[in-house]
Amino acid sequence: MNTTSPLDCPAWKKLEAHAATWRAARLFDQQAGDPARSQRMVAAAPGMQFDYSRQRAGALTLRLLAQLASERGFEEWRAALFAGQAINTTEDRAVTHTSLRATEAMSSPMLGLAEKIRNERRFRRIVNLGTGGSDLGPRLVADAFGDGALDVRFVANVDAVELDRALAGAVPETTLIVVVSKTFSTQETISNATAARRLGYGNFIAVTSNTKAAEQFGAGEVLPMPESVGGRYSVWSAAGLSAACAIGTDAFREFLAGAREIDGHFLDSPLEDNVPALMALLGVWNVNLLGIEAHAVLPYAHRLRLLPAYLQQLEMESNGKGVDRAGRVVDYATCPVVFGVEGTPAQHSFMQLLHQGPRPPAADIIDASVNETLSANAIAQADALAYGTGDQELPSYRRQPGNRPSSILKFRHFTAQDLGRLIALYEHKVFTQGVLWNINSFDQWGVELGKQLANRILKGVA
């Protein structure tokens, strides 16, 4: 498979020349001169539409980006992903998170346990101990669609305040502690589990690939986590146990089904209609050819308030790499800085910078069709970013230059199935960008040094 530098691809050089024409072009003029643009630059995926008409790009841009994907061997890499090949080369591991939702058989042990916990009502509170992907994905799902049948809480921080708050008012006999750690050695998670045990909590379930360590700790039951599934891709695995307890197993099955639909869309749709691939291509265009260094995620739905934090890990831990698959230091940008918050609160926070700052980010605006007010605000912000204000009678401090690229992901409604669709969409976007940048999206060696230094410091203190 292709592991050459993208800078060596003929399409990259064509894109560099083509980008010069778009640096001077204005979205206001593009839309005025081509009213059909807003209908033509729209792609559909199950349950949603992707409107990229406000991107600083045109038909030729997309053709050249598609050529780049072809030269990078996108189809071969995609086939390798779904075949479970060892594309995580630095750890010599397959990448199998898509297989976890391919059939319900893969998730049935976890779902059976979640159903038992909900039906027996032995436990009134569940406390999930995990960090990174063992926390962010399940926390997002539980926060979005928790039905209140169980009090499900999450602890990721080794700061004792978070654990104290999660256990406040809890009764040990009716509290279940779920410890999620693939290695069962994650410092924050094991420290919190040890603290909970010291406080008298004794009902533990572990989700890990290190069964022996979990049993030695005292876990009453152990659910396996495959070595081939990275933490940030693990919400589909037994790591989703607490989320399944929070939203119910029927809703979790819908969540899995939504992701499965996007897997099919990503596999079968041509590039020009393939929503995650289009998101990836346009992201590379913005970062590498237009020099945009940050990306805002603005969900217009309270259910999605934790999505930006989830995507920060998914995108920046996956693609925040400075060495390519051949071990070469890259001399081009990779993942942008990802940030965001709920849409309308964002409008009263950092959106000032998006509208008038001299170095604005690109943006994804997610319209979950919650109500007319939120949808109106989502569209208005996209239009304001793209087209600005042309009234020259306004004082300079009131003018908005526009020409700031954004895309709208529009859902017909928003259910657990749609959340599965949305997360899988971003997973495949990240994978595609990793192919284009020739980087391994499935390791995270950059986090290791800090952990090692912290352990040395702690040993020195001890």
pLDDT at 278: 98
Confidence of residue 104 (pLDDT cuts 50, 70, 90): confident
Check: CB of residue 171 under 8 Å from CB of residue 124. yes
Identify the CA nearest to 347 among candidates 314, 312, 387, 376. 376
Q: What is the pLDDT of residues 332-387, one digit of tens each?
A: 999 999 999 999 999 999 999 999 999 999 999 999 999 999 999 999 999 999 99
**Number of CB atoms found within 10 A of residue 331's CB:** 9
Q: pLDDT at position 459, please? A: 86
CB-based contact 100:115 (threshold 8 Å): no
| Rounded Cα–Cα distance for residues 256 and 400 (Å) | 42
Q: What is the mean predicted confidence (pLDDT) over 145-155?
A: 98
Question: What mean pLDDT do residues 34-57 have?
Answer: 97
Alpha helices in 146-294 (DSSP H): 160-167, 187-198, 211-217, 241-247, 249-268, 275-284
pLDDT of residue 105: 79
Percent of the chain scored above 70 by pLDDT? 100
Note the pLDDT of residue 126.
Answer: 98
Q: Would the pLDDT of 120 be above 70? A: yes
CA distance 314 to 338: 10
Give the angle subtended at the CA of 100 by the CAs of 97 and 104, to the nearest 5°. Answer: 165
pLDDT bucket at 455, cuts 50 / 70 / 90:
confident
Q: What pLDDT sits at residue 215?
A: 96
Instruction: Point out the residues that are catalytic.
Output: 317, 348, 451
End-to-end Cα, the chain, rounded Å = 49
Note the pLDDT of residue 391: 84
Contact by Cβ (8 Å): 11, 74 = no
CB 243 within 8 A of CB 180: no
Tokens of 130: 């995990």
Q: Which CATH superfamily is 97-254 part of?
A: Glucose-6-phosphate isomerase like protein; domain 1 (3.40.50.10490)
What is the location of CATH 3.40.50.10490 in the chain?
6-88+269-446, 97-254
Q: Encoding tokens for residue 281?
A: 């291509």
Question: Exposed, middle or buried: residue 305 (CB in 10 Å: 0-12, 13-18, 19+)?
Answer: middle
Average pLDDT estimate for 248-271: 98
For residues 426-444, average pLDDT = 98
% residues pLDDT > 90 (the chain): 95
pLDDT for the residue numbered 460: 85
- Model-level pTM? 0.97
Find the DSSP H helices in 47-107: 59-71, 74-82
- List the beta bridge partners of residue 179: 129, 206
Half-sphere exposure for 337 (CA within 13 Å, toward CB): 9
Query: Between residues 388 and 390, which one has the greater pLDDT?
Result: 388
- 3-state secondary structure at position 34: coil
CATH architecture for segment(s) 6-88+269-446: 3-Layer(aba) Sandwich (3.40)
Answer yes or no: are the C-beta atoms of 267 and 78 closer than 8 Å: yes
The alpha helices in 235-361, defined as continuous H runs, are: 241-247, 249-268, 275-284, 307-311, 318-319, 343-347, 351-356
pLDDT at 106: 83
Q: What is the mean pLDDT of residues 423-449?
A: 97
Residue 255 and residue 58: Cα distance in Å, rounded? 34
Q: What is the mean pLDDT of residues 75-99?
A: 96
What gap in Å lies between CA 316 and CA 441, rounded to an integer? 9
pLDDT at 396 over 80: yes
Task: Inform me whether the pLDDT recorded for 82 exceeds 60.
Answer: yes
**pLDDT greater than 80 at residue 390:** no
pLDDT tens, 209-232?
999 999 999 999 999 999 999 999
pLDDT of residue 388: 95
